[in-house]
Amino acid sequence: MDEPLPAQIGRYRVLGELGRGAMGVVYRAEDPMLNRTVAIKTILMSSDPAVRAEYEARFRQEAKAAGGLNHPNLITIYDIGHEGDTAYMAMEVLEGVELRDMMKRGGLELPFVLEILAQVADGLAFAHERGVVHRDVKPGNIMIVGERRAKVMDFGVARMRASDIETQVGAVLGSPKYMSPEQVTGSPIDGRSDVFSLGVILYELTAGAPPFSAPDVQQYMLQIAGATPAPPSTLNPALPPMLDLIVARALEKDPARRYQSAADLAADLRACLGQPGMATAPAPAPALDFEFEDTVASAPAAGRLPLSRRFESADGFEHLAALAAAGRSADGAPLPSRRRLNEDPLLAMLAAGVALAAIAALVVALV
């Protein structure tokens, strides 16, 4: 039986439910003070005092990170508050379609893809300049409103560089499919990590398939850390040569060799738009999807605010932890021996990172 809608949250009158996730609910509500409709993102606090304090601090940190960002390509946060056992955030209601849903339908023309991702890069550049790294850039966090306006949403795992919360060493935050090598290995994160994630989306949308492919999270993370994908034009020969160069630079494993700012990536994407033949470029093939991309909530209907989500790879890492204890990988094969790990520093670093992430994911849950 569905729970009844609360009549009011803070000063906001609840009108209906927009979405439901693992840790809370998103409501459509009316702000009587300013006479406008808002989306209220909530999180139900744990009864355990220590866990409750951590969750509330993370929720407030999300608001602190996103609330100070006023940019046409970023969602606007209006207010945060606390009501009984529930913390809430009031934000603008976005009437549009998630990029993830558009990808599933396919048929996106190349000029549209480049312009939309250039807008996403614009918004991320604005956030990075103000010390905010998103850490979970993915199609499900990009809403297309109107005809051609991109909005980056859900800074749920964003981390201020001068954070009020002390994070655990080695904690891996984000969605596995779009992680950067730094996230996989537990290395320090900055805006260039978001650039890599955007590069994965760019590859997926232009080549028609992801740059990396694996049957489980563990092997996928190994590919992120060490595999070099083929140029997108090998899968979609109609792509201009310049796009191969852009993708290759965005997906550099070493952050020092990657685009040093999202603004530089945006500039190159728009320069690529000016290449001959781009106006009539064919639409890329529909992008493939991974079963482990979304393990908590399904995609909302078009025109709805996306569901509130927790850290999506937590279930996968918990499973990996159990397999690691048994000395097996996800496909049942023996894990690399200690001798091989000693001989291969990359595997050793990644194995350590995955092990730490498996432990951290059991206690880190984000909306």
Residue-wise pLDDT tens digits, 67-116: 788 999 999 888 888 887 788 889 999 989 999 999 998 889 999 999 99
In single-letter form, the type of residue at position 230 comes to A
Query: What are 345-351's contacts with CB under 8 Å, separation 24+?
Result: 346/225, 346/226, 347/222, 349/185, 349/225, 350/184, 350/185, 350/221, 350/222, 350/225, 350/226
Tens-place pLDDT, residues 216-255? 888 999 999 999 999 999 999 999 999 999 999 999 999 9
- The predicted pLDDT at position 311 comes to 31
Cα(147)–Cα(130) distance, rounded to whole angstroms?
28
8 A C-beta contact, residue 266 and residue 250:
no
- The predicted pLDDT at position 335 comes to 42
Burial class (CB in 10 A: 0-12, 13-18, 19+), 65: buried
Q: How far is CA 180 from the centre of its chain?
A: 11
Cα(155)–Cα(152) distance, rounded to whole angstroms?
8
- The predicted pLDDT at position 67 comes to 77
- The predicted pLDDT at position 301 comes to 34
- Angle at the Cα of 321 from the Cα atoms of 331 and 212, rounded to 5 degrees: 50
- The predicted pLDDT at position 320 comes to 40
Structural domains for the chain: 8-91 (3.30.200.20), 96-280 (1.10.510.10), 314-363 (no CATH)
- The predicted pLDDT at position 266 comes to 98
Place of tokens 């893809």: 113
8 A C-beta contact, residue 39 and residue 18:
yes
Query: What are 83-88's contacts with CB under 8 Å, separation 24+?
Result: 83/9, 83/10, 85/44, 85/45, 85/47, 86/9, 86/24, 86/42, 86/43, 86/44, 86/45, 87/42, 87/43, 87/45, 87/55, 87/56, 87/59, 87/60, 88/9, 88/10, 88/40, 88/41, 88/42, 88/43
- The predicted pLDDT at position 16 comes to 94
Active-site amino acid positions: 136
Q: How far is CA 317 from the centre of its chain?
A: 17
- The predicted pLDDT at position 64 comes to 74
Looking at the DSSP bridge assignments, the partners of residue 42 are 88
pTM of the full predicted structure? 0.74
Helix (H, G, I), strand (E, B) or coil at 297: coil
8 A C-beta contact, residue 295 and residue 140:
no
| Spans in the chain with pLDDT lower than 50 | 161-171, 291, 293-325, 327-343, 347, 355, 358-367
